[in-house]
């Protein structure tokens, strides 16, 4: 629901905010380790297929594509995303920056329709960046990774970007920025519901609210009703009665530690191989392999 055209553009702005450390930290890690990631994924092969779940504008993926081309590797890139707008942006920028890369985009919801990859001769590197996995409950994350695993061959590689548990104030600021861009991103859902489901949300009657739920190890975004109100959502046949301060829970963003990551990967047919973190230990890139037995 977040990623209509307006939501996609707001998210692009979020990634440039000073408080939103995940994007720039992941970018730094990719810049430092891209050569190693590509070499590990390729082995002695001279061609590589890169498949990316929720690619968005794929701006960080450029770092890996550049590293592969520097190593003289032929690359096929398959960005998967629910947003056609995002994929169009990704394809245009890759065509301009990396003409030799063959791009095969797919507009797909990787949750409701597990990705279908055609057989490929050569290694595949699957990417799931931006800590997008943190937006899903643990049981959903396992399903997404298991579905991905079914499409990979033994020893294919998987690079996962995850945000790590850290001080609460740093986490809250990342989702409640001083310019109000994340608030606009959250409230945009109501405009989308009004447009697509004919609802009558008064966007000014809600405020963006962010909480750290330590028990679940997740940041929660909510829309808090500033007064008692009734909202009609005709196409969903819903009438919503909200008390003052009652919230609509719109997003979770789970934060990980090493144990949680090891468990998640081992439960989903991946063998942990390498992990890189920034000096503050705020973010991790984990490279794992599809296990042979699964």
Q: Which residues bind ligand SAM (CB under 6 A)?
A: 3, 11, 54-56, 60, 81-83, 86, 109-111, 129-130, 132
Shortest Cβ 131–ligand SAM spacing (Å) = 8
The CB-of-9 to ligand SAM minimum distance in angstroms stands at 11
CB of 78 to ligand SAM, least distance (A): 13
In order, the DSSP letters of 110-163 are TTTS-------SS-EEEEE-TTGGGGS-HHHHHHHHHHHHHTS-TT-EEEEEEE
Rounded-to-integer distance, Cα 236 and Cα 42, Å: 48
Nearest-approach distance from CB 207 to ligand SAM, in angstroms: 22
Min dist CB 147 to ligand SAM, Å, is 11
| Strand-pair category, 218-225 with 247-254 | antiparallel
Between 55 and 219, name the residue whose CB sits nearer to ligand SAM: 55
Name, in order, each residue with C-beta under 8 angstroms of 205's C-beta and a sequence gap of 6 or more: 225, 226, 227, 229
Nearer to ligand SAM, 132 or 286 (CB): 132
Supply the minimum distance, in Å, between the C-beta of residue 169 and ligand SAM: 22
Q: Which residue is nearest to ligand SAM (CB)?
A: 130
Query: Distance of alpha carbon 219 from its chain centroid, rounded?
Result: 15
143 or 229, CB closer to ligand SAM? 143
Q: Which CB atom, from 191 or from 205, has the smaller least distance to ligand SAM?
A: 191
Nearer to ligand SAM, 124 or 132 (CB): 132
> Is 55 or 190 the residue whose CB approaches ligand SAM more closely?
55
Choice between 25 and 132, CB closer to ligand SAM: 132
Report the residue count for the chain: 294
Residue at token pair 């450029």: 62
Q: What is the 3-state secondary structure (H, E, C) of 156-219?
A: CEEEEEEEECCCHHHHHHHHCCCCCHHHHHHHHHHHHHHHHHCCCCCHHHEEEEEEEECCCCEE
Shortest Cβ 205–ligand SAM spacing (Å): 27
Residue 255 near residue 284, CB atoms below 8 Å: no
């Amino acid at each position: 629901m977040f990623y209509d055209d307006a939501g996609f553009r707001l998210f692009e702005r979020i990634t440039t905010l000073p408080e939103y450390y995940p994007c720039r930290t992941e970018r730094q890690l990719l810049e430092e380790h891209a050569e190693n990631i590509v070499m590990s994924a390729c082995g002695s092969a001279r061609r590589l297929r890169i498949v990316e779940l929720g690619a968005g504008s794929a701006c960080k993926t450029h770092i890996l594509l550049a590293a592969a081309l520097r190593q003289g590797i032929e690359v096929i890139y398959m960005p998967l995303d629910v947003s056609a707008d995002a994929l169009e942006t990704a394809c245009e920028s890759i065509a301009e920056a990396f003409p030799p890369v063959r791009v095969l985009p797919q507009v797909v919801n990787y949750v409701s329709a597990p990705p279908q990859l055609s057989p490929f001769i050569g290694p595949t590197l699957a990417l799931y960046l931006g800590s997008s996995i943190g937006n899903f409950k643990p049981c959903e994350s396992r399903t997404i990774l298991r579905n991905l695993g079914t499409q990979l061959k033994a020893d294919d590689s998987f690079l996962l970007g995850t945000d790590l548990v850290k001080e609460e104030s740093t986490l809250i600021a990342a989702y409640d920025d001083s310019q109000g861009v994340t608030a606009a991103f959250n409230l945009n859902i109501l405009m989308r519901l009004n447009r697509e489901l004919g609802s009558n949300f008064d966007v000014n009657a809600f405020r963006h609210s962010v909480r750290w739920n330590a028990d679940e190890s997740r940041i929660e975004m909510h829309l808090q009703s500033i007064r008692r109100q009734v909202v009609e959502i005709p196409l969903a046949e819903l009438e919503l009665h909200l008390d003052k301060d009652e919230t609509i829970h719109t997003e979770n963003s789970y934060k990980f530690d090493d144990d949680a990551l090891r468990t998640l990967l081992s439960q989903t047919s991946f063998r942990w191989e390498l992990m890189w973190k920034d000096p503050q230990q705020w973010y991790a890139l984990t490279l794992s392999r599809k296990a042979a037995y699964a």
